[in-house]
Every structure is written in C-alpha cells, then in structure tokens.
C-alpha cells in the first residue's frame, strides 16, 4: 500500500499525531458518527470516531484498567454496574473479571461500533459473545439513565467520546444528576475528564469538572499515561456519594482478587490522584 497515514489534530493547524496505515479494515458513516478501523504496525488495530482515536490494541489496557479497577478497589462489593458507551467492549471485559459482579448493563448508542469491533478487535469485543452477565442495549444512554429506577447501580462508567457529537449530552449537569439518582447511596460514577495540557482541552476538563462538582459531594480527578491520546496523558473523574478514592482505598481486599493487570496496581491508584499544579488550577 502507498504511504498512507491517519492523523489526528491535537491542536488545530499546529500539532498532530500520525499513525501509518498498514491496512484499511473498515470505514463507515453510521447514523451517529464516522467510524474507521485501521491496522498500524506498532499499535495494532485501532478505531477512530469522527477522526479521534478511541482505542488501539496495543494501549487499550491502560484506559480499560483505569476506568474500571480504581472504583472496584474503593468498593470491592460492587454488584451492579452500568456502562454508558464502551462499544469496543474493553470496559465490559475488565468489569467481567470480577466473579462477584452480578449484572453489567451496557448502553451503546451506535450498534455499528459493536459490530465492527466484534469483527476486527476480538481482544476487547470478545466479551460480547462470552459473558452471560452482560446485558448489551443498543440505545441512548442519556435516556436510559433518565429512566433508570432510583438507586439501581453501585457503579456507572461513562466510556464515551469527547464532548462533541453523540457524546455531548454525557457532559451535562442533567446527565450527572440522573446518574446521581440512579446510583445507590454509596454509588460511584467514573466519567471522561479529557486532558489539560492544551488550552482547549483544559477548557473541556474544567467544564466537565465544574458540573460534576455541583452534583456529587465527592469529585476527584485521576490521570494515566496512554500514548495515543492527546499529549499521552488522559483523565477520568471519580465522583461519589460516600467514598473518598484515597482514604477509602481497600488495597489489601483488592489485591486478594488476584487479578493480573498490566497497568493498574494499588500504588498507581494512589499516585494517579496526585495532580500537577496546572491541572489543579483548572479544577
């Protein structure tokens, strides 16, 4: 194939990340977004939505460890989980590693993402064909949470795109309020917090965090190193009705699960909540 590159702007007209395309696997305009899947020699198969890298075979473990395990190490008794988005299956795969979790509801708006990942990324999407506790709903996560009964979930994981396109509504006070209501009295919400190095990114983080702070009594932010996202560093928000992610960490209990994780451990857990001053300033 000719020298073909996927590139993603991190700062418009100024900074780009480029991955060489070894093979074009799938391109589709779905009813919601532009879905592309390619193969790169270094990162393996990767998926982009509306031109932004969502997942690569090589570094997805970082993101999926960090969206899931910190909450389970703070409340090791979590039984009912709701995933919003997460069409590649990586988040569901990690949640499913806990045998004591009873149900995993997952609401993905775009069925085309699930189908493409089943075909080209079995390392994440394999979970869809082998996990009986997983209840996959193709539908609108915003509406689902709005209609969910009070106190239905121990944990909600928002595995969405950025706050533009189909993911936009997942960064609103109204959505966070519905999550609060749908969570049990010791419920935890993990959500996208983007990154903070470039000014426009910092603005997005600030907006997301200021809204979540209005709704949850405890709202913290934690970061992790993921090479294919802007600046190589990304953040999640940890919002909770009761637990503080540092003082309520149950390190020994979590270690007893005996999971072999490639990124997460309980030292990383504590360290991830230590933020650089330029990040603290926007929160």
Determine, following the binding rule CB under 6 A, whether residue 159 of this chain makes contact with ligand AG3: yes
* CA dist., res. 87 & res. 106, Å (int): 9
User: Among 159, 244, 248, 267, which one carries the catalytic annotation?
Assistant: 159
In the block, residue with structure tokens 């919601």: 32
Which of 167/184 has CB closer to ligand AG3?
A: 167
The token duo for 221 is: 């932010």
Beta carbon of residue 251, minimum distance to ligand AG3 (angstroms, whole number): 26
Contact criterion met (CB below 8 Å) for 198 and 229? no
Fill in the per-residue mask, 43 to 82: x = in contact with ligand AG3 (CB under 6 A), - = not in contact. ---------xxxx-------x-------------------
Among 230, 235, 269, 282, binds ligand AG3 (CB under 6 A): 230
Strand pairing of 153-159 and 183-194?
parallel
Nearer to ligand AG3, 35 or 249 (CB): 35
* Smallest separation, CB 210 to ligand AG3 (Å): 19
Helix axes 199-215, 173-182, angle to 10 degrees: 40
Stretch near ligand AG3 under the rule CB under 6 A, chosen from 31-39, 149-157, 158-166, 214-222: 158-166
Tokens of 122: 């079995």
Backbone φ and ψ for 245, nearest 5 degrees, come out as -65, -20
159 is catalytic: yes
Q: Is 175 exposed, middle or buried (0-12, 13-18, 19+ CB in 10 A)?
A: buried
Query: What phi and psi, each to the nearest 5 degrees, are found at residue 110?
Result: -115, 100
For ligand AG3, which residue of 65, 88, 105, 108 counts as binding (CB under 6 A)? 88
Of 65 and 162, CB closest to ligand AG3:
162
Contact residues for ligand AG3, defined by CB under 6 A: 52-55, 63, 86, 88, 90-91, 159, 161-162, 229-230
State the catalytic residues: 159
């Amino acid at each position: 194939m000719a020298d073909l590159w996927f590139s993603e702007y991190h700062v418009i007209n100024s900074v780009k990340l480029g991955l060489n395309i070894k093979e074009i696997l799938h391109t589709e305009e779905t009813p919601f977004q532009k879905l592309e899947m390619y193969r790169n020699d270094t990162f393996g198969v990767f998926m982009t939505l509306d031109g932004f890298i969502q997942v690569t075979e090589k570094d997805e473990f970082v993101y999926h460890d960090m969206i899931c395990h910190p909450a389970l190490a703070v409340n090791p008794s979590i039984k009912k989980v709701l995933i919003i988005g997460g069409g590649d299956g990586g988040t569901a795969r990690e949640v499913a590693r806990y045998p004591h979790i009873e149900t995993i509801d997952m609401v993905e708006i775009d069925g085309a993402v699930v189908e493409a990942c089943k075909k080209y990324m079995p390392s994440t999407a394999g979970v869809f064909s082998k996990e009986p506790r997983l209840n996959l709903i193709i539908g609108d996560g915003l509406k689902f949470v709005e209609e969910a009964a009070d106190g239905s979930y121990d944990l909600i994981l928002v595995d969405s795109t950025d706050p533009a396109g189909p993911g936009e509504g997942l960064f609103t006070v109204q959505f966070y309020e519905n999550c609060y209501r749908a969570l049990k009295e010791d419920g935890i919400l993990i959500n996208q917090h983007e990154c903070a190095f470039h000014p426009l990114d910092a603005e997005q983080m600030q907006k997301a965090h200021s809204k979540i702070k209005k709704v949850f009594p405890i709202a913290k932010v934690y970061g992790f190193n993921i090479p294919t996202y802007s600046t190589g560093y990304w953040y999640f928000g940890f919002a909770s009705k009761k637990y503080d992610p540092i003082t309520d960490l149950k390190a020994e209990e979590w270690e007893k699960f005996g999971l072999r994780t490639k990124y997460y451990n309980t030292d990383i857990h504590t360290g991830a909540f230590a933020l650089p001053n330029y990040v603290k300033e926007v929160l």
